[in-house]
Structure 1
Amino acid sequence: MAFAEIISIILRLAELAFAAIVAGLNGDYLHASKGASAWHLGRHIYTEVVAGLAIIFAIIWLFPFSGSFIHWPADLLISAMWFVAFGLLVDWIGDNCGSVFDWDGISFRGTGSCSQLKATIAFAFLSAICWLVSAILGLYWVRRHTAPVAPATYHRRRWYRSRV
């Protein structure tokens, strides 16, 4: 089952890269908005925390061994956290920068906060998908490699038979 291990490593590397990109872009936005209330930056702080947790767990679970597949519930939880961060950021950006999925006018020059926020949203979604696929792969691997447990059978001794 080396194919599953190779796919798992590729997914972990993608998760690590996407989380690092989100952490960097979102951290730059948080740094630029110094002095704002933590209440108003709550969505971005949550996204930064999720990105930090994703970086930590992606590094820890990057090492290839069969035990890395049993973490599929945590992968599913982190995927849900990424989807929540994605939804919070999409709700926050609203129509201020045009449609969230309208990528016209995005450029690499300058420090346009709209393009930076749209990139953060896109990479948060990509990270959520990678964590979800990793959870599905882990669930598949665990289901395939665990032997079904036979029910315990108890034999009653008949009362009329002796041990002798």
Structure 2
Amino acid sequence: MRREHSWAPRGARAVGKRAMGHWKTVSIVGAIRIGSRPLLMTHRGAINGRVFLRFVRQRLVPWLRPGDVVVMDNLNSHKMVAVRAAIEAVGATPVYLPTYSPELNPIELLWPHLKRGVRALRTNTEEELRSVLRRLRCSVPVAHIAAWFRHCLSQAQLN
């Protein structure tokens, strides 16, 4: 992600540094819960079923508690039998949102916060990105996460 515009006083040239070369895709998968900081994992490349299942088994399942509800959209990798089984094995319940309903998914409110921070801090390497994400993860007020859940619940009640 790069800034698309620059600013300079009238008559002065806007100057900035920009990494050149081929861009590498780094994807982020995450989870949020009331009372905790976001759980994030980066992956070089796109998130597919194999990568999502690894996230669920290695990161999400140890973080879950019996009785938790895991809200996911209808992405094919979210609906894998192994994903459902891993979540249910710890006593949590997977819930799938209706198609095309990002307004009901609280984590969708986290992504703009992270993207703003990544753009502002101009990361050029994958390691810089991970470092920035660790800082941004800790900068998300826990109260905001609770508010995101309340907001999505109110949207669900309106629909």
The question of a shared fold, defined as TM-score above 0.5 by the shorter chain, is answered with no
**Greater gyration radius:** 1
| Higher strand residue share | 2
Bin of the TM-score, shorter chain as denominator length: under 0.3
Work out which structure has the larger RCO, using CA pairs closer than 8 Å and 6 or more positions apart in sequence: 1
TM-score using structure 1 length: 0.24
TM-score using structure 2 length: 0.24
